[in-house]
Amino acid sequence: MAVTACQGLGFIVSLIGVAGIIAATCMDQWSTQDLYNNPVTAVFNYQGLWRSCVRESSGFTECRGYFTLLGLPAMLQAVRALMIVGIVLGAISLLVSIFALKCIRIGSMEDSAKANMTLTSGIMFIISGLCAIVGVSVFANMLVTNFWMSTANMYTGMGGMVQTVQTRYTFGSALFVGWVAGGLTLIGGVMMCIACRGLAPEETNYKAVSYHASGHNVAYKPGGFKASTAFGPNSKNKKIYDGGARTEDEVQSHPSKYDYV
């Protein structure tokens, strides 16, 4: 019961995490304009992985996609690739983990196969979560670097007078969604890997016992059980055991102590 609960909870947490990774990748608020000490407040800029948008004070919003691939920064392209890889791995892991759930029976699938599928989906969930976390962290580091470079360029001249006004960008809401979603996917993958140990069948070691006949030649007859010994008139190493009943010839050939009374 505990294994089933752990596996189901890991699946649900991973499902929420993968959905969050998809949402964060599609959001436009990866970087938002820093309004601190900004005299222009009628226009608000924010950017995402796929387009940049401008929102005016009147409420009108205009977005423009990135219609170039080679003109984009290499770090932005790397973040795109990491998020896409995380989504693909997460989708495949969800498909595998559905068939691996212990509460779902498909044909005559054994527990060992379900354990292997659970472990595979858990590892893929972990990789998916790491891809999302790394991608969001790389973008955040790029924002921090550009922010301080823009701040240094803004304050030039004597007395720290502002000579130029540049647009500085800070963390957007998509970054926090990506961090949380990546963490949930990672946690769900770990729970799936833990549940795999409970699904694996226990190996039982049986002691091998070999049976050896008491002689070289064994035969079964209606009169009794024949086993090999060191005595026998007909063949070497043979004797007849018939539960106490013997023929007259055997009685004469093997006299007992009562024959001399």
**Domain limits of the chain?**
1-29+68-154+167-199
* CATH class of residue range 1-29+68-154+167-199: mainly alpha
Q: What is the DSSP letter of 237?
A: T
**Model-level pTM?**
0.69
Residue with tokens 């694996």: 200
Predicted confidence at residue 1, as pLDDT, reads 61
Cβ atoms of 86 and 14 closer than 8 Å: no
Quick one: tokens of 161? 């007078």
pLDDT on residue 133: 96
SS3 47: strand
CA dihedral 246, 248, 252, 258 (to 10 degrees): 70
The pLDDT value recorded for residue 239 is 45
Looking at residue 43, what is its pLDDT? 81
pLDDT tens digits in sequence order for the chain, 261 residues long: 687 888 889 999 999 999 999 999 999 999 988 877 666 677 888 899 999 998 888 878 888 888 887 788 889 999 999 999 999 999 999 999 988 887 777 767 677 888 888 899 999 999 999 999 999 999 999 998 888 776 666 555 445 454 455 678 889 999 999 999 999 999 999 999 888 877 665 554 444 444 555 555 545 455 544 444 444 444 444 444 444 445 445 545 555 555 544
The helix/strand/coil state of 224 is strand
CB count, 10 Å around CB of 249? 9
Q: Which is nearest to 115 in space by CA: 5, 199, 192, 4?
A: 199
Looking at residue 251, what is its pLDDT? 47
Q: CA 78 to CA 89: how far, in whole Å?
A: 16
